[in-house]
Amino acid sequence: MSIQYNFDELVDRSHTHSVKWDIVPPNAAKDTLPMWIADMDFPCAQPILDALHKRVDNRIFGYSNYHSDEIKQTVTDWFQRRFEWTIHKEEMVFSPGVVPAIAFLLHILTEPGDGVVIQQPVYYPFADKIENSGRRVVNNPLCYKDGAYTMDYDDLDRKLADPSVKGMILCSPHNPVGRVWTAAELKQVVAIAQKYDKWIISDEIHCDLIRRGFTHQPVLKLCPEYRQRIIVCTAPSKTFNLAGLQMSNIVIPNEAYRARWWDITMNEFSIASANPFGITAMMAAYTQGEAWLDQVNAYLDENVAFMRQYLQQHLPKAHMVEPQGTYLVWVDLRAYCSDAKKLEQLMLEEAGVYFDEGYIFGEAGAGFERFNIACPRRILQQCLERMTKVLQSLIID
């Protein structure tokens, strides 16, 4: 029988060097609740903890080899079992994170000055990595209509038609708007990229965190005919709350790109070996973590339902964009405060809640807040209560 987890338990993470709990902006109110960075306040699955304890008992933590058949088999088995997606083991490479992988890939796939399409509002490190490496952000904004997000294919077509634009970074599922793209949507994106022979980096880090009723479609499974120009980023880090262990698996079907990857990561930057705890945790997660993950997803569904109801009752002018995936909820608060900077100040200094501000995901996010709801429900409730108290006191224009 599988273990029944209690996600209502609040683990004290203070003084653990936690970015989420130990780094607080200087202007934040006392005891501000961190609802921003994307890690979970849920303890890891017991099989992962057991495997890590066992690994510690070995007492030596030397350089560790990722390139073993056992590791690659474990990862590919996970995607086969969960998504019926067959990954060829030789196409998988190691990265200490998905964001570093995107940085490496930009060096492989582009030259300084080249354009790269992203779909804002979107996970802000995409724009940072593009700009910080001297490339250009080319925005294909998502359409926000009737409270829901879709893609603008005509605009994407125009942007990818430009010869100075080399490819796009797709966020699938999408952070922060929570879309789980359908097969039809993904096929349309791939068709446009194919029309102009542009590459796609598909960041699928949130693929296991899917809300009830939705199904993640791995783009490489969906569009095998375009596999030479698609790269997929995956990781157990969001799924199993292992972000600090710095372990991700990047699927690069194109052999020439893989050779360049090896050149850059190994020969230039010496990203040679993985963290032994990362390997151990990933192996346990992908072989024995399924029951925990199913329970986490069920708990997150309930947190979403709780939040929806709370907002309807107490802040009816707030619009919660229904998340289809991820544990991040995107809320339009412009009806209460249309000034994004003022909203930020009110939340942080008066309400005592620390969100990822909507505007950091791109201009279109101004006036939105991104909630990380992977926390015990009573923390979510406290956050909503604090926010409501402040917003209700505002004069609604």
Ligand X SMILES: Cc1ncc(COP(=O)(O)O)c(C=O)c1O
Instruction: Say whether residue 321 binds ligand X (CB under 6 A).
Output: no
Residue choice 123, 149, 336, 359 for contact with ligand X (CB under 6 A): 123
Q: Which is nearer to ligand X, 171 or 366 (CB)?
A: 171
Instruction: Say whether residue 118 binds ligand X (CB under 6 A).
Output: no
Report in angstroms how near the CB of residue 11 gets to ligand X at its nearest: 20
Count of residues engaged in binding ligand X, rule: CB under 6 A: 13
Instruction: Say whether residue 175 binds ligand X (CB under 6 A).
Output: yes
Instruction: Say whether residue 237 binds ligand X (CB under 6 A).
Output: yes
Residue choice 138, 171, 307, 340 for contact with ligand X (CB under 6 A): 171
Q: Which is nearer to ligand X, 177 or 318 (CB)?
A: 177
Contacts of residue 229, Cβ cutoff 8 Å, sequence gap at least 6: 167, 193, 194, 197, 198, 199, 200, 254
Residue choice 51, 117, 192, 243 for contact with ligand X (CB under 6 A): 243
C-beta separation of 373 from 304 below 8 A: yes
Report in angstroms how near the CB of residue 335 gets to ligand X at its nearest: 27
Contacts of residue 351, Cβ cutoff 8 Å, sequence gap at least 6: 29, 386, 387, 389, 390
Instruction: Say whether residue 168 binds ligand X (CB under 6 A).
Output: no
Burial 219-237 (b: 16+ CB within 10 A, else e): bbbbbeebbebbbbbbbbb
Q: Which is nearer to ligand X, 51 or 243 (CB)?
A: 243
Residue choice 7, 20, 21, 38 for contact with ligand X (CB under 6 A): 38
Report in angstroms how near the CB of residue 248 gets to ligand X at its nearest: 5
Return the range that interacts with ligand X (CB under 6 A); candidates 136-144, 235-243, 284-292, 346-354.
235-243
Phi and psi at 334, nearest 5°, equal -65, -25
Instruction: Say whether residue 265 binds ligand X (CB under 6 A).
Output: no
How many Cα atoms occupy the beta-carbon half-sphere of 186 within 13 Å?
A: 28
What is the spatial distance between Cα 288 and Cα 294, in angstroms, rounded to a whole number?
12
What is the spatial distance between Cα 254 and Cα 13, in angstroms, rounded to a whole number?
42
Q: What residue number has its CB nearest to ligand X?
A: 97
Report in angstroms how near the CB of residue 247 gets to ligand X at its nearest: 8
- Count CB-CB contacts under 10 A for residue 134: 12
Secondary structure of residue 389 in the 3-state scheme = helix
Instruction: Say whether residue 344 binds ligand X (CB under 6 A).
Output: no
